[in-house]
Structure formats: C-alpha cells, structure tokens
Amino acid sequence: MLHAPVCRPMLSMAIAVAASLACGPSMPAAADGPIVAPADVQARIVSLGPWPPPLMPDPGNRMSGRPAAIAFGELLFHSPRLSTVGGLRCATCHEPWRFYADGRATALGAVDGGRNTLSLWNVRFQRLYGWDGANDSLWAQSIRPMLDPREMHASAAEAASAVRAAPELARGYAQAYGRLPSTDDESVLVDIAKALAAYQETLVSGRTPFDDWRDALARGDRHAAANYPAAAARGAALFAGKAACIGCHAGPLFSDGAFHVALHRSQLPDGSPDTGRSAGRQHGLESPYRRGGRYDDAPRPVPSAEQAASAVAYAFRTPGLRDVAATGPYLHDGSVANLCDALQPHAADAGGSAAPPLSIDERRDLVAFLLTLSTTDGAPLAEPSSWTCR
C-alpha cells in the first residue's frame, strides 16, 4: 500500500458563496437540482472524475510508497543543503502553505527564472514533467532543479556530499536505503531524487464541491446536485461545451497531459525565446536519467514513447486546474495575475486557431466553476481581487 496523502492547506466552505458574490448574480437552482446541459455536455462533465484516481506505485522508482523513503524525501524537500545558493530549498518554490507553488510570476533561484512555478499537487499522476516535458519520471524531474545553474546550482558531487556530511540526512538515507551513502556521487544523487519523488507522490489534493456534484450527476441524484451553485453549474456547462476548455483540461486532473502551442510568446532570462516542448524533448532524449536508462528500476524501451513523440515549438504542457484559484499567477510565464483574465484564449489547436472570446458573464460563470475545484473547510473567505471579473 502507498503512504496516505499528507494533510494540506484548505480553502473555505464559503467559496461557492464568494464565487457568486465575486462573479455576479446567478439564477436560483431548481428544486430538484440545476439543469446542467444537454446529455452530451453532461457526460463530458462526468468524465472529469472520479476523484481521487487509484494510487499506484511507480515501477521505475523502488522507493515509491515506502514510508522510510517518504520521510527522508520530506526531510530533503525542506533542507537547504541540496543547493549552493544560501537558504534555497525545494520548498522555497513549492511552499506547502501556497499549495506547493510560490505565488510569484516566475521562479526564484540562483537567478530569476523565466517560467511560472507549477504546483506539486497531484504530480504523481503525470506522464511528462515541467512545462516542457523534459523528464519522463518524477524522480528524474527532481534532479533537474538541483543541477540547473539557474535554480539550485549544485552538482551531483555537492548534493551527495551534503547528504554524507549532514548527520540528519545521512541517518535518513540509511533508514530509507538500509545503508550509508556510497562514494558514487551520481548514484547518491539518484537516490536523493527517488526519495524526493516518493514524498511528492503523497501530495494528492482533497475532494472538492465539484467532486460531490459530479458524483451526484454520475449517479443521477438531482437532490444532491441541487447543493451546487447555479453559476458554477453554468460555468461547468461552458467549460465542457461552448468554451471547449475540456479539450485540453480533460479528465480528473483537468489536464490532458499534452502540449499545446501558446498564443503568447515569452523569453528566457538570457533573452532567448522560450520554445517550450521542442527544447524539452531534446533534453529528455539526452538525459541519462530517462525512463529505460541505467537508473530506471523498471525495464522498458529507450526512450519512452511519450518522450520520443514529435515536439512542436512554443508548445507547453496543459496544467491541471485543481486548486487553480490559489495557485496564480497564470500561464507558463506567469504573465497573467487574474484568473478571470486567464480565461481569454491563450492556446491554439493543431490548426493554429483558438477558441472564440467569452463574454464577461460567461467568464464570471467559469470563474464560479473554477472556484469549486478547491477543497473547503468552512472558514470565512475574503474575495481576492485575482478572482474578480470586471
């Protein structure tokens, strides 16, 4: 059995009420539940669940689901010793109280980054990682920031030495692996990454008001469905229908895991264009840590089918939308601060065309829907300006 998901910060049960106030007036729900949409659109809404998905171990990481490795990974996640930049930790950019994001437009590291920090919630369910899909396992993705000179600016030797030298880390390593760290720096680096991945696998977000409504729709319980705000129900119908958001934000993760061309172009800190997936694919194919490589714990083809797939320039992975109200700014470069503004077309289909623009009332209903994708706990909730549609 895998370790149970860790506790997480929550938004309030007042979120649906706040959504109605922030997003404008809404029609009252019918006594037997809101009329959702035509049957085909309702079926698409039901396809956005159930939540959570089954928790399966990662066959490429022998530490996956092991309590001692999870504990060691959590210790590493909060340790500044893996970085040569003073005080920088994994948790610097993935702060637990910020839903494992950082609230900044672009990431903070040894130098200012060029991309927005993705939340780590539900990262275990992905196939390719990061905005550009440069890595095809969670443990390989955990190596990237350690070695990146723009981020934690360490080497394999420096990371391994830190674990050997710090008594609490050496002890955690021994408890997870049954031995002290070896003299092989790269092997120790991989072991660090696999423990970090084991911990990150536990970061699974809780159920939301949407999940309760979706389940009610799936079982045909219109009485239970009546508890869902009418504005959010209209937004869900738009999401799965006219607005076509579900074309990319599909399934229980609200992400198809695929890469779509961004209509908005951005630059990396050195001034070069950020080409997204095209550069990420090349990195993945050249990585010694790819699936099927020498450090993978499950025999499989080299390279993985996902990594070998063709890549398009300026394409970025579809981010998941769970807890989206708490994880702005938005887009791959953090250039949009307001959730309502992020609903404007920002990605193109294979033919290069984008969805039609939405009216202000439609965007208000969509925001009302997106706010119900956050777990709630019954505490009062102020209206953040980042939600408001004007």
Distance in angstroms (rounded) separating the CA atoms of residues 199 and 264: 34
The order of strands in the sheet holding 315-317 is: 315-317, 259-262, 347-348
Interval 176-188: pLDDT, tens? 999 999 999 999 9
Please answer whether residues 379 and 14 qualify as being in contact, where contact means their C-beta atoms are separated by less than 8 angstroms: yes
pLDDT of 349 reads: 62
pLDDT of 352 reads: 59
Token representation of residue 385: 């300006």
The dihedral built from the CA positions of residue 376, 382, 385 and 389, taken in this order, carries a sign that is: positive
State which amino acid sits at residue 147. L
Is a pLDDT exceeding 50 seen at residue 9?
no
Is a pLDDT exceeding 80 seen at residue 33?
no
Range name among 1-10, 86-95, 189-198 with the lowest pLDDT average: 1-10
Mean pLDDT of 252-281: 92
Is a pLDDT exceeding 90 seen at residue 275?
yes
pLDDT of 382 reads: 54
Distance in angstroms (rounded) separating the CA atoms of residues 97 and 388: 22
Distance in angstroms (rounded) separating the CA atoms of residues 7 and 199: 13
By C-alpha distance, which of 282, 332, 275 is closest to 307?
282
Token representation of residue 217: 């729709």
pLDDT of 304 reads: 78
Is a pLDDT exceeding 50 seen at residue 249?
yes
Q: What is the CA radius of gyration of the chain?
A: 21
Mean pLDDT of 306-321: 88
Range name among 3-7, 50-54, 206-210, 224-228 with the lowest pLDDT average: 3-7
Is a pLDDT exceeding 50 seen at residue 12?
no
pLDDT of 255 reads: 97
Distance in angstroms (rounded) separating the CA atoms of residues 140 and 284: 10
Check residue 110 and report its DSSP letter: S
pLDDT of 30 reads: 42
Mean pLDDT of 192-205: 98
For residue 256, what pLDDT band results from cuts at 50, 70 and 90?
A: very high
Please answer whether residues 331 and 346 qualify as being in contact, where contact means their C-beta atoms are separated by less than 8 angstroms: yes
Interval 314-368: pLDDT, tens? 999 999 999 999 999 999 999 999 999 999 877 666 555 666 788 999 999 999 9
Token representation of residue 184: 């092989």
Range name among 37-41, 172-176, 212-216, 236-240 with the lowest pLDDT average: 37-41
For residue 36, what pLDDT band results from cuts at 50, 70 and 90?
A: low
Interval 140-157: pLDDT, tens? 999 999 999 999 999 999
Mean pLDDT of 222-251: 94
For residue 13, what pLDDT band results from cuts at 50, 70 and 90?
A: very low
Average pLDDT of the chain, as a whole number = 87
pLDDT of 35 reads: 55
Token representation of residue 381: 């909730």
Q: Give, in order, the Cα–Cα distances in Å from 297 to each of 173, 253, 317, 361.
A: 18, 26, 26, 51
Is a pLDDT exceeding 90 seen at residue 3?
no
Mean pLDDT of 373-388: 66
Phi, psi of 348 (to 5 degrees): -110, 150
Token representation of residue 177: 């692996």
State which amino acid sits at residue 155. S
For residue 5, what pLDDT band results from cuts at 50, 70 and 90?
A: very low
Mean pLDDT of 359-386: 79
pLDDT of 21 reads: 33
Question: How many CB atoms sit inside 10 A of residue 28's CB?
Answer: 8
Question: How many CB atoms sit inside 10 A of residue 237's CB?
Answer: 23
pLDDT of 10 reads: 37
For residue 25, what pLDDT band results from cuts at 50, 70 and 90?
A: very low
For residue 19, what pLDDT band results from cuts at 50, 70 and 90?
A: very low
Distance in angstroms (rounded) separating the CA atoms of residues 16 and 368: 7
Mean pLDDT of 205-234: 94
Q: Which residue has the tokens 């499989």?
A: 300
Mean pLDDT of 192-207: 97
Name the 3-class secondary structure at 128: coil
pLDDT of 192 reads: 98
Percent of the chain's residues with pLDDT above 70: 86
